[in-house]
Chains A and B, each alone.
Chain A
């Protein structure tokens, strides 16, 4: 099966920061969460996918097509939500829609109306009068109203209250009821992904740290807590990273079962959250 989104050897250099050899592959029917701390390279990657930035090297294929050569065709089938606003502030919601709708071949006015109602977006209100959450909802309504096959969203949940966030997650699970559709979204609110994401790709300092099924992370990794006397050099090496305090240590192990075998009842081992995993990887790198 051709991946819906495939990134190979992507590089982009900036002063003091760069994306180094990014590889990502996503098949249709799945949701991939793209996580990492602020400044890790999430938005840069997404801008490169959308051809809003010029890459230095590498290949980006969407629906099997080149993202630049076939930009028109590719973008018609992408529903995107970007972190920064790209609307005309002086227009009303309805006027802005009249600007955007003709851009898409498969614009679906009925669906758009439905989302306006669901999201309680006032059609006559000017964009600049909308709150941050409202603008996000407007972006979403546009993204969801042209029969896109791939949804690319940069921090769609930031600035939204928990209620709307949960609504969005429902919409995304609804989207992939159709196994020909896929969702790629970045966030630093990892609890959004603990539930519905199928795959997790984690980025830090411009590098992909891991990219795998979420279940494999949550079922295999373990948060190990115990006394500091248990730690020696080899044991330390077996952890992704270790945090120590006066009364003990807490570390992230890649293999929970192995840790259990190694330490037995001398430690407490818990299932990590995605946030735990992200924090340990990011902190671990800083320690080196």
Chain B
């Protein structure tokens, strides 16, 4: 599992970690009931504060992606398909939003953009 953090990003590091672990779970790189690295080990490996990794895991736990068992560690929670699907939809929306705002900066019309998506969709 890769986790790459950027210090120059405006996004807080805990957020970057949580996002990437989510992606790994949604992609299936991290399987149901699989154990995650301990917060201390992750902090050491990434050379960051324990508080940061702890916060990332708390975020993931709150959103239902992982469960933490005191004294045992943190595990990928049993798959909630609706939840994962929702998360995927959110990612699609985010990327589309990015595409839309880039399109607007170069005056691409909605029609043109839709056609582009259609072509890409067919090709994919």
A interface with B by C-beta (< 8 Å):
29-31, 169, 173-174, 176-177, 179, 194-199, 213-215, 218-219, 271
Report whether B49 and A177 are in contact in the complex, using a CB–CB cutoff of 8 Å. Answer: no
Number of interface residues of B (CB under 8 A): 17
Report whether A196 and B40 are in contact in the complex, using a CB–CB cutoff of 8 Å. Answer: no
Q: How far is the CB of B38 from chain A (nearest CB, A)?
A: 8
Sort A-B residue pairs by CB-CB distance and give the 9 closest, nearest first.
A173-B44, A198-B49, A219-B12, A198-B51, A195-B47, A177-B40, A213-B51, A198-B50, A215-B52
Report whether A176 and B40 are in contact in the complex, using a CB–CB cutoff of 8 Å. Answer: yes
Report whether A196 and B12 are in contact in the complex, using a CB–CB cutoff of 8 Å. Answer: no
Contacts of A199 in B (CB 8 A): 51
Main secondary structure of the interface of B (DSSP, over half): helix
Closest to B40 in A: A177
CB-CB contacts below 8 Å: B7-42 with A: 7-8, 10, 12-14, 40-41
Once the chains are docked, how many angstroms separate the CA of A127 from the CA of B35?
Answer: 48
Report whether B40 and A215 are in contact in the complex, using a CB–CB cutoff of 8 Å. Answer: no
Q: Which of A173, A218, A219, A271 contacts B43 (CB 8 A)?
A: A173
Once the chains are docked, how many angstroms separate the CA of A173 from the CA of B44?
Answer: 5
Q: Is B48 an interface residue (CB 8 A)?
A: yes
Once the chains are docked, how many angstroms separate the CA of A169 from the CA of B7?
Answer: 18
Q: Is B55 an interface residue (CB 8 A)?
A: yes
B interface with A by C-beta (< 8 Å):
7-8, 10, 12-14, 40-41, 43-44, 47-52, 55
Q: Which of A174, A194, A195, A214 contacts B51 (CB 8 A)?
A: A214
Q: Which of A30, A194, A215 contacts B12 (CB 8 A)?
A: A215
Report whether A177 and B47 are in contact in the complex, using a CB–CB cutoff of 8 Å. Answer: no
Report whether A271 and B13 are in contact in the complex, using a CB–CB cutoff of 8 Å. Answer: no
29 contacts between A and B (CB under 8 A): A29-B40, A29-B50, A30-B50, A31-B49, A31-B50, A173-B43, A173-B47, A174-B44, A176-B40, A194-B7, A195-B47, A195-B48, A196-B43, A196-B47, A196-B48, A197-B49, A198-B50, A198-B51, A199-B51, A213-B49, A214-B49, A215-B13, A215-B14, A215-B49, A215-B51, A215-B52, A215-B55, A219-B12, A271-B8
Closest to A179 in B: B40
Contacts of B47 in A (CB 8 A): 169, 173, 195-196
- Residue of A174, A198, A214 with most partner-chain B CB within 10 A: A198
Once the chains are docked, how many angstroms separate the CA of A215 from the CA of B44?
Answer: 16
Q: How far is the CB of A179 from chain B (nearest CB, A)?
A: 7
